[in-house]
């Protein structure tokens, strides 16, 4: 992978550990079906490197964006939440720009939390990239947002007749996991990196032996993110029907076995947020989450309600999104 031509945010300025220790901040009013948005915002608010950056207000001090800026919005929201412990606030800083985050989002409609997360992080990334044009992919991944949430996947295709290998890389902001066959996140990650056979109609053209050949294709995490977001694919494509099954997930996860370089020190991640969907399909139901505050304690965040819980309850949920930090 080509090195970046430009570094937009110095990596040494990303602080992974909380800079202060306090109990959980405010709960969030549900403004007409906004539980999906509340749950996602709460997970982002307790993402230590993002919160540290937003609490410093470094972004708004140098922001040159006129009009809508998702980083300024998140900075205002996170500061308000974390400085209003014990109370409940209205997330209007975010809901008032819902259609700017994603054109199709409509206040009052139930939306998919994972989709909202994707659009929110992309809008933050967009704000960090504004003012820069013609940046190469590598440089685009040096924003503070991409350095926190982003990683790179390697896709490797191996020709089965001549053994030639061809690699390509793509940036990711989260890892989607198929859970139909897996009963744990580690099993789903093994499936994710497991080889897939390309043959018959799916043969690929090998440039080495210059023919259509059967091949094997596999993904590995090539550059690990500082914050790993896993999405358990609970909703079936067309119907939106939900796969309601228990999928185990650990408090500490070693990502090393799923990377391009499986030899080496463990790459340990620690769980800090779990987003849960309750209900039978993606068209309805309710979202809430569990987050670990800077005091190290876990809280259940369910719209206005903020309640202390222990880790054993956190680990026994039908999780939809899992957030881990290095
Ligand atoms: Zn801004
Ligand atoms: Zn070949």
Q: Which of 162, 286, 289, 309 is catalytic?
A: 286
- Residues measured by CB to lie within 5 Å of ligand 1, the ion: 63, 65, 69, 71-72
The closest ligand to the CA of 68 turns out to be 1
The closest ligand to the CA of 70 turns out to be 1
The closest ligand to the CA of 161 turns out to be 2
User: What is the Å distance from ligand 1's center to 74 Cα?
Assistant: 9
pLDDT (0 to 100) of residue 199: 87
User: What is the Å distance from ligand 1's center to 62 Cα?
Assistant: 8
User: What is the Å distance from ligand 1's center to 122 Cα?
Assistant: 14
pLDDT (0 to 100) of residue 133: 83
The closest ligand to the CA of 69 turns out to be 1
pLDDT (0 to 100) of residue 238: 73
Q: Please name each of the domains of the chain with its CATH number.
A: 20-325 (3.90.70.10)
Whether 66 is catalytic is no
pLDDT (0 to 100) of residue 58: 95
Alpha carbon distances (Å) from 311 to 91, 272, 300, 325: 27, 10, 11, 16
User: What is the Å distance from ligand 1's center to 127 Cα?
Assistant: 7
Whether 205 is catalytic is no
User: What is the Å distance from ligand 2's center to 260 Cα?
Assistant: 22
User: What is the Å distance from ligand 1's center to 69 Cα?
Assistant: 5
Q: Which of 35, 69, 128, 159 is catalytic?
A: 35
User: What is the Å distance from ligand 1's center to 58 Cα?
Assistant: 10
Structure confidence by residue, pLDDT tens digits, 249-266: 999 999 999 999 999 999
pLDDT (0 to 100) of residue 308: 96
Q: Which residues of the chain have pLDDT under 70?
A: none
């Amino acid at each position: 992978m080509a090195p970046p031509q430009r570094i937009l945010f110095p990596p040494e300025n990303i602080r992974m550990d909380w800079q202060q220790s306090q109990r959980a901040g405010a709960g969030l009013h549900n403004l007409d079906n906004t539980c999906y948005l509340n749950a996602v915002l709460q997970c982002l608010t307790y993402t230590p490197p993002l919160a540290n950056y937003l609490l410093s207000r470094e972004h708004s001090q140098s922001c040159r964006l006129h009009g809508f800026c998702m980083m300024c919005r998140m900075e205002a929201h996170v500061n308000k939440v974390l400085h209003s412990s014990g109370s409940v606030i209205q997330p209007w800083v975010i809901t008032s720009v819902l259609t700017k985050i994603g054109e199709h989002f409509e206040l009052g409609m139930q939306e998919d939390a994972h989709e909202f997360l994707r659009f929110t992080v992309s809008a933050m990334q967009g704000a960090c990239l504004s003012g820069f044009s013609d940046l190469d992919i590598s440089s685009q991944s040096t924003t503070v947002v991409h350095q926190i949430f982003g990683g790179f996947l390697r896709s490797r295709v191996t020709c089965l007749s001549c053994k030639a290998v061809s690699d390509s890389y793509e940036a990711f902001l989260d890892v989607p996991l198929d859970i139909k066959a897996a009963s744990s996140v580690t099993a789903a990650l093994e499936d994710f990196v497991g080889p897939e056979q390309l043959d018959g109609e799916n043969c690929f053209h090998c440039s080495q032996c210059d023919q259509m050949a059967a091949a094997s294709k596999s993904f590995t995490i090539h550059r690990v993110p500082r914050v790993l977001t896993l999405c358990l694919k609970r909703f079936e494509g067309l119907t939106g029907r939900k796969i309601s099954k228990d999928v185990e997930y650990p408090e500490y996860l070693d990502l090393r076995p799923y990377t391009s370089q499986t030899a080496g020190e463990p790459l340990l991640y620690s769980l800090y947020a779990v987003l849960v969907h309750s209900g039978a399909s993606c068209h309805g139901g309710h979202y809430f989450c569990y987050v670990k505050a800077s005091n190290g304690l876990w809280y259940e965040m369910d719209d206005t309600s903020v309640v202390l819980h222990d880790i054993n309850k956190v680990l026994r949920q039908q999780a939809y999104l899992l957030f881990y930090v290095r």
